[in-house]
Structure 1
Amino acid sequence: MAPTPYVPQPPQGVRSGGSKGDYPAHWEADVISRDGQMFHIRPIRPSDAAALQDLHLSQSESSRVYRFFAPRGELTEKELDQFTRVDHAERVALVVTDSAEEEEVLAFGTYDSSGPGTAEVAFYVADSAHGRGLGSILLDHLAAAAWERGLHRFEADVLPTNSRMLAVFRDAGYTLTSRLLDGVITVSLDLLPTAESRRVLAAREQHSESLSMAGVLNPAAVVTVGSSPALPRGLPAWDGSPFSVPTLALIDDDAASLSGHLTSLGLAGAWAAVVLTRVGEPGHWFRALLRSARDSDLRLVGPSSFGILTADGTNLTREPALRGGGVVSVLTHRRRSATEITDRLVAAGVPVRTFLAAGNRLDVSGNDAMQWWLSDPGTRVAAISLDSIGNPRKFARISRALALTMPVVCHIGSTTGQSAPPGHPVRTSALPRAVLSGMLRQSGVIEAGSRADLVDLACLAVGGRPAAVRLLATTPSGEEAAARALAGVAVEPHRAAEGGSGGGTPVVPALTIVVDQPLAGEVREGSAAEVARAAEGAVIAVMRHPAPVRIEGSSAVVTDDLDRAVRLATLLLAPPAADSPPAGGDVDLAAARRALAHAEPGALTEEATANLLAAYHLTARQQPGGDGWEEVLVEGTEDPLYGPVISLHHGGDAKMLGDVAYRIAPLTERDVAELLAEPRSAVQLTGRDLGPLRDVTGRLARLKDDLPEVSHVLARVLVGESSTLIVRVEVRLAGGGRLDTRGRAMAGGEFGWGMGPAE
């Protein structure tokens, strides 16, 4: 008999569903279909029998034949009982409905365990719902459930003429094999994620989520709801009539009326709502408010939003001077952040493409905004200010994709990730803030040290990220001071010529620093504005008495702090995001599962640890004698907020001194190389062959990414002049789930809520 797999538990704070037979509430989720509409997916219940019968009877004869391989009338009570009474482990069934309150079943999918690690999967999608991607969504969520239950392969029998179902399997991106026997195609799907399955999941997620955000950032019409005098003037107040075009509602009313407004707007056909109403601490009503928006098929911005500026330049913010028509799109959270950023944008005269203040980020978050920017040809720079973060793994995935297409600048608060601001129902982490900084570097995102830096970096990045820094100065002393400050930075020096015209042009696009800080009695060779005319691209003007510098065709930032100018330039010169192969190599996941089959929570035995390492082609050896070895510790932790965090530090006091590098799995080969190079102690490895250490680190990161039940893994690695050895590995298991699962789902689950009907 095959061993029972180790079953991880659902995320902390979510209703239990880990034991066989228990209802797994953490599998409930709101999802967005291929056409941008919202649906609800959940485990089946015995009470769904009548709805399942209605679905069956509404189907065409061909659809019934595709599902049951023969014409079928009504389903028998025994069949309905078999479909709806499952153990949520060896037999699983999920249904898709219009909302959490809706009983009508639009689609359902099942799997039945058929052997060690294998299950037979089947789908039934309403004819009226074909073409919306519900079959693919069911496959995603069934695969996530199967993976959680220790299964790694799906099989299905499909009639050759059932092209829709064959396409669902073929297009999922998993390793697929098939054979034709007696007029039936048997499809076998390996559920181990591949580079293609990850790409497909991300592409589908981006397509559907960006469509759903069109009603927020690019609506055809806007109406106001509520009696607040703070609502913008000149916009029509909603009179209760149904909407004929994609419409955004701007709401400012008392908190008790918000759910009712959302329900009424949904019935009238609105697409989205921005709630300006300020609220305090989240409570049970927060969940009810989100449930009202989801059940009404509305995207919700807020509550406590500062407002938005849409793609056509319509200003719906609290700052009337904010202008549209630019190329920088901005995302903020709290009003304090939004106020400071809009003040700086207005003072600098910078127009924006879109602006979104998510407020309490109950539904729409930075991840949603980035998905829309990926599809928006008008956005050329993304500027993000995070007061909290709900799903860092998803943020990392989307921001990396965005950074491949444009400069992305991000400011994170001093306690972001470690504590939740008032009114932000998000998880927190005990890990240091350096994890977030590592995540941004991993994604190719420029981290701004302040909101002032965020605005200036976004302005400077409008023309793209420079490959070098060019230096112009109005005086010899200015050139000398800048040269000292720029030591170690890639610089193309050039002092202004007589009259301030300057000569020569950069071979590659460059950022120009103009230093105009003459000493007493020193003769200037032209003003900063005159000297800056020699620049081709963005300019930072360093002046003793800052004044606006207008340069036609260029972005200019003015400061009196040369060190700040150098810091901004250095940030912009950081390597941009780039594609890189996944790290970790080939593994034997089935063997890894077997190694954990009988394990209990706590420390893994030496034998089980050795078997687990062998599945990832790793071996721990005895510590060698002699000197010349450099100790490196690679650690993997399952964090309730970040998921699988990989850290690396050298031996001795390095960790105590904070000399630790962090990344979030999965890692690419480039991520691993940067992880090894980032600690200050990395100089100890100069001249040594780091290939084996990169391989070990990549495989340990792959292990942590594959196995959420591994709560902690610590490997002590010795790097010598000509060899690298793993000398000790400690592994611990714990019940706990991962926030960012493989199934596409909207925000809500990260708040610690099962996304079923509000109680």
Structure 2
Amino acid sequence: MADVAADGAGAAVPPAGARAPGPGAYPAAWEADVVLYDGSTTHVRPIRPDDAEALQAFHLGQSERSTYMRWFAPMERLSERDLTHLVTVDHDDRVALVAVTGGDGPGDDERITAVARYDRIDPDVAEVAFNVSDAHQGKGLGSALLEHLAAAARERGVRRFVAEVLPQNGRMIATFREAGYAVRQHTEDGVVSVEFDIDPTERSLEVMADREHRAEARSVRGMLGARSVVVVGPGSGATGVTVRLAQTVTGALRAGDPTLPVHTVGVPGRPGEADRWAALAELPTPVDLAVLAVEAADAEGFVRALARHGVRACVLLSAGFGETGAQGLDLQRRLLRAARGTGLRIVGPASFGLVAVRPDGSVLDASLVRETLPRGRVGLFCQSAQVAVGLAGAVRRRGLGVAQFVSAGHRADVSGNDLMQFWTDDESTDVVALALESIGNPRKFQRIARRLSATKPVVVVTAGRSGQVVPPGHQVRSTYAPARTLDEMMRHAGVIRVESTGAMLDLVQLLAHQRLPAGRRCAVLAGSATVAAVVVEAAAGAGLVVRQDPVVVPEDAGPDAVAAAVEQVYAQDADVVVAVRVPTVYGPDPVLHRAVAEAAARTGRPTAACFTGLSGITADLTAPGPDGRPCTVPAFGTAEDAALALGRAARYARRRAEDRGRPVAPPGVDVRAARRLVRAWSASDGAPVALDAARTATLLSAVGIGVVPAVPARDAEEAVRAARAMGYPVALKTTVPALRHRADLGGVRLDLEDDDEVRAAAAALAAVTQGQRPAVDEAPLEVQAMVEQGVSCVLRSTEDPLFGPVLSFGVAGDATDLLGDVALAMPPLTDADVAAFVRSPRAAARLYGYRGSPALDAAALEDLVARVSLLADGLPELRSLELNPVVVTLDGVRVLGARAGIGPADRSDAPARALGR
């Protein structure tokens, strides 16, 4: 019998004499850190035999009601036999996960706060049980453990969970339903039996993403909204940079909000300098935020001590961690484990700090910024402290107001993903900008940014065009994807990628102070005909369209002429305006500045200006709009910069208005069946496995993809017999890898009508391939039935260690390969994504009626791509897949060749919620 605790379900101890299975290899990959509903963190891991004492303590801490719900009977203590059974699992048929806090510190044992387990009943079904500590109810531990237990079960081949729940335990049944699963239940003998399939559904994935979003946003909100802060410095007698860090941030905190309680520990020249540990013990409780400027070796101890004062986040200004080598990386990992085990978030190491404007107008300035930043509605994130210095200076010079400014340093914990989760719902932020040196989890970045960019512009600059730069201290997986993969990921996420921090701030100042353009039509106001021609060219290069003549206002024009010129340009049928005036003799013209500002505010027409003497956000180009709120035309350094910013804003507006489509869901796709096949075929030692043609075809059939059969032949006579069996006409192909499927290189002979033609083709192929070996363990020839004429294409999927599944598509041929005319996409995809994907290569025009040829069946091709994307997304064990050639015909697609390889799953963004490692 099974039972259920208040926030979980339970499973009974086996009858006397039952033998616990021997433990299998500990699945370290199942360990994860999770953000809970209240913004705190917990560590989830498989149970271990040495957890017996902690499990007993967990049991003893439960109320009588929870104990009864767990065991259906009073049970003061767990017997030794019970404990041995509960902590001894094989991580296959019997799996248990625990959520723990604390641990890994002197005298700081781990404490279990929740347990989830399953016991397999048959190959496909397991009985599930949950139990959550009374002291940790309401934090979402049950739902978090359910996600991770279901992920582990799917990995082990389980398809369905069952549980028995007491009727009064409606919370647990609700947990199953609210997770997005289709729960079936019935009541018998006073017990509610529930069951549900555990494969991810569109609904369950939405629920997980929404829970992740709310938890991580709340975590950041608590950090940025801190109402009390402690600064921990290096202590008395210290010298060097840590002293300056501690003193600078203390001054910034007091200057930003004189009413903010700021406690100091070990900050030279401040109270609490002499004995840091004694001063720390006397801190009031709780303290919301800590700022650490200490030696790297001391950070872990202070994090553990601060957690006991209710600190929820630490800004770590100090360096000396992962960037210094193996020893520093070990310090960083221990620090992160201590923080997450005690529920803290870490901003850093080597952070520049954070600045946040609160709703009441007060400022939390826990940063090293030397001068106060202007207040505004821009959310700004960067990593390196050195980059933050430059950004802060540029923001100040431009007068660009920020709502939040966060530097994550080496982003051991808090990352741009966390900030984007917060900005999605933050009403004080209109525009988001990120300066990234590395992206640790591109799949999660894409998912979060896609959601954020649907409502707010997101501008991104990365270190290097490929995004494959890994600065010291950043823990990032290697990648083998093409350099432009990051571009495609950003495009799919809906963000605006720019090439420099200057271009990023150019665009941000426009987006923060002007409306989004309604289109690409551009009107031009210039100080001379020559300048007007330059501006028109710049506008065209930025993707704007100038359809009416520019309006020229000479530098010696009087006020009436200036007003008339401005009125004329804003009367044009245009969506945006570029105004440029760089006088050679006269100085700045306040009359022109005021006229442009007032016209832009009155009409709401997005405007960018390039006026001598003005830069960024200025009062000279600010005027009240119809609603009385000020509207500012941003000033740019060059006309090209102004046009480029407007062009990028117009493209973003167009993309945001487009229908993003629905997740692809073609009929007949059974990823679960594919997962079972891969599980059966995988090597016991985890080595990669190249699937043969038969297994590849079987795998593809699980998602509704058929492969035209090819019969191997060792010589011409075998080829003749195969051709007779399948019926003429046939194609004869070589299996030499370099020539396989290459009719243009003589590796394929088509439309063979009889035995003699097959024999002649075999002889010709032998001559072409002389001296070249066929593929391993394959005959030199293969025979295949002819299919209708069409355009040959290649569709591939590769599991990249960093990006996850990456699809590529192109029209077959050397020109495609040599010119790189290949589209890239990263699942999951919508139907709109798929349609854009197959149209992206330039040679794809051949599919749509190029030069009068008939349009082919693009819908069938899109269906094929959708099936491959679902297989690649849902099967991380699929290391590679190549469909080559895929012949697109008038009435369908024909897959003539397929190759696949499988291996152990190792994806950075698993379905269950988890922070980066």
TM over 0.5: yes
Other structure's SS at 1:374 match: helix
Specify which of 146, 154, 158 is matched with residue 139 of structure 1. 146
Measure the CA separation in 2 of the matches of 1:186 and 1:506.
Answer: 71
Corresponding residue number in structure 1 for 2:621: 551
Once the 2 structures are TM-superposed, how far is the Cα of residue 395 of structure 1 from its aligned partner? 1.0
Specify which of 702, 714, 721 is matched with residue 615 of structure 1. 702
Corresponding residue number in structure 2 for 1:256: 297
The structure whose RCO (Cα within 8 Å, separation 6+) is larger is 1
Measure the CA separation in 1 of the matches of 2:157 and 2:787.
Answer: 44
Once the 2 structures are TM-superposed, how far is the Cα of residue 193 of structure 1 from its aligned partner? 1.3
Corresponding residue number in structure 2 for 1:186: 193
Corresponding residue number in structure 2 for 1:662: 824
Corresponding residue number in structure 2 for 1:347: 397
TM (normalized to structure 2)?
0.74
Measure the CA separation in 2 of the matches of 1:59 and 1:319.
Answer: 49
| Two-structure CA RMSD over aligned residues (Å) | 2.9
My pick for the range that moved more, 696-705 or 548-557, is 548-557
* Compared CA separation, residues 735 and 625, structure 1 to 2 (3 A): same
Q: Is the 8 A contact 1:308 1:356 kept in 2?
A: yes
* Compared CA separation, residues 54 and 541, structure 1 to 2 (3 A): same
Once the 2 structures are TM-superposed, how far is the Cα of residue 513 of structure 1 from its aligned partner? 1.8
Corresponding residue number in structure 1 for 2:650: 573
Corresponding residue number in structure 2 for 1:223: 230
Corresponding residue number in structure 1 for 2:717: none
Q: Is the 8 A contact 2:288 2:311 kept in 1?
A: yes
* Compared CA separation, residues 376 and 566, structure 1 to 2 (3 A): same
Once the two structures are superposed, the pairs formed by residues 591-630 of structure 1 within 5 Å of their partners are 591-600=673-682, 601-621=688-708, 629-630=790-791
My pick for the range that moved more, 403-412 or 489-498, is 489-498
Alignment of 1:729 with 2:891, yes or no, is: no
Q: Is the 8 A contact 1:503 1:534 kept in 2?
A: no
* Compared CA separation, residues 697 and 428, structure 1 to 2 (3 A): same
* Compared CA separation, residues 324 and 218, structure 1 to 2 (3 A): farther
Q: Is the 8 A contact 1:511 1:569 kept in 2?
A: yes
Once the 2 structures are TM-superposed, how far is the Cα of residue 97 of structure 1 from its aligned partner? 1.6
My pick for the range that moved more, 367-376 or 345-354, is 367-376
* Compared CA separation, residues 656 and 464, structure 1 to 2 (3 A): farther
Amino acid at match of 1:720: T
Q: Is the 8 A contact 1:314 1:324 kept in 2?
A: no
Measure the CA separation in 2 of the matches of 1:507 and 1:123.
Answer: 67
Once the 2 structures are TM-superposed, how far is the Cα of residue 703 of structure 1 from its aligned partner? 0.2
Once the 2 structures are TM-superposed, how far is the Cα of residue 111 of structure 1 from its aligned partner? 0.6
* Compared CA separation, residues 333 and 157, structure 1 to 2 (3 A): same
Alignment of 1:467 with 2:518, yes or no, is: yes
Amino acid at match of 2:706: T
Once the 2 structures are TM-superposed, how far is the Cα of residue 451 of structure 1 from its aligned partner? 1.0
* Compared CA separation, residues 595 and 251, structure 1 to 2 (3 A): closer
Other structure's SS at 1:268 match: coil
Once the 2 structures are TM-superposed, how far is the Cα of residue 127 of structure 1 from its aligned partner? 2.1
Corresponding residue number in structure 2 for 1:643: 804
TM (normalized to structure 1)?
0.89
Corresponding residue number in structure 2 for 1:232: 249
Amino acid at match of 1:256: A
Measure the CA separation in 2 of the matches of 1:432 and 1:321.
Answer: 42
Once the 2 structures are TM-superposed, how far is the Cα of residue 331 of structure 1 from its aligned partner? 0.6
Other structure's SS at 1:64 match: helix
Measure the CA separation in 1 of the matches of 2:573 and 2:680.
Answer: 60
Amino acid at match of 2:799: E
Once the 2 structures are TM-superposed, how far is the Cα of residue 557 of structure 1 from its aligned partner? 4.1
Amino acid at match of 1:211: R
Corresponding residue number in structure 1 for 2:126: 119
Amino acid at match of 2:621: I
Q: Is the 8 A contact 2:692 2:899 kept in 1?
A: no
Corresponding residue number in structure 1 for 2:332: 286
Other structure's SS at 1:410 match: strand
- Residues 268-317 of structure 1 deviation map (CA, whole Å, 9 limit, x = unaligned): 22222212223342421111222232234321111111221123333333
Q: How many residues align?
A: 728
Corresponding residue number in structure 2 for 1:16: none
Q: Is the 8 A contact 2:671 2:875 kept in 1?
A: no
My pick for the range that moved more, 510-519 or 675-684, is 510-519
Structure showing greater radius of gyration is: 2
5+ long unaligned stretches in structure 2: 1-21, 235-242, 255-261, 266-271, 273-279, 554-560, 623-629, 683-687, 710-783, 850-854
Identity among equivalent positions (%) equals 36
Other structure's SS at 1:51 match: helix
Amino acid at match of 2:303: L
Measure the CA separation in 1 of the matches of 2:571 and 2:414.
Answer: 42
- Residues 483-539 of structure 1 deviation map (CA, whole Å, 9 limit, x = unaligned): 444446356757448423324868999443224368999xx9984664454323543
Measure the CA separation in 1 of the matches of 2:531 and 2:388.
Answer: 36
Corresponding residue number in structure 1 for 2:84: 81
Amino acid at match of 2:172: M
Corresponding residue number in structure 2 for 1:754: none
Specify which of 358, 373, 376 is matched with residue 323 of structure 1. 373
My pick for the range that moved more, 677-686 or 24-33, is 677-686
Amino acid at match of 1:113: R
* Compared CA separation, residues 624 and 306, structure 1 to 2 (3 A): farther
Amino acid at match of 2:481: L
Specify which of 599, 604, 620 is matched with residue 534 of structure 1. 599
Measure the CA separation in 2 of the matches of 1:481 and 1:494.
Answer: 13
Q: Is the 8 A contact 1:461 1:538 kept in 2?
A: no
Other structure's SS at 2:135 match: helix
Higher helix residue share: 2
Once the 2 structures are TM-superposed, how far is the Cα of residue 564 of structure 1 from its aligned partner? 4.1
Corresponding residue number in structure 2 for 1:718: 887
Other structure's SS at 1:204 match: helix
- Residues 720-758 of structure 1 deviation map (CA, whole Å, 9 limit, x = unaligned): 34433222221111224212112222222xxxxxxxxxx
Other structure's SS at 2:68 match: helix
Specify which of 778, 786, 794 is matched with residue 633 of structure 1. 794
My pick for the range that moved more, 113-122 or 310-319, is 310-319
Specify which of 430, 454, 457 is matched with residue 407 of structure 1. 457
- Residues 149-188 of structure 1 deviation map (CA, whole Å, 9 limit, x = unaligned): 1222211122222111111101001232223333322222
Amino acid at match of 2:893: T
Alignment of 1:63 with 2:66, yes or no, is: yes
Q: Is the 8 A contact 1:540 1:565 kept in 2?
A: yes
Q: Is the 8 A contact 1:309 1:317 kept in 2?
A: yes
* Compared CA separation, residues 261 and 81, structure 1 to 2 (3 A): closer
- Residues 575-600 of structure 1 deviation map (CA, whole Å, 9 limit, x = unaligned): 34455311242422343234334324
Other structure's SS at 2:389 match: helix
Corresponding residue number in structure 1 for 2:772: none
Corresponding residue number in structure 2 for 1:379: 429
5+ long unaligned stretches in structure 1: 1-18, 749-759
Once the two structures are superposed, the pairs formed by residues 28-177 of structure 1 within 5 Å of their partners are 28-101=31-104, 102-177=109-184
Amino acid at match of 1:431: A
Measure the CA separation in 1 of the matches of 2:300 and 2:591.
Answer: 62
Other structure's SS at 1:583 match: coil
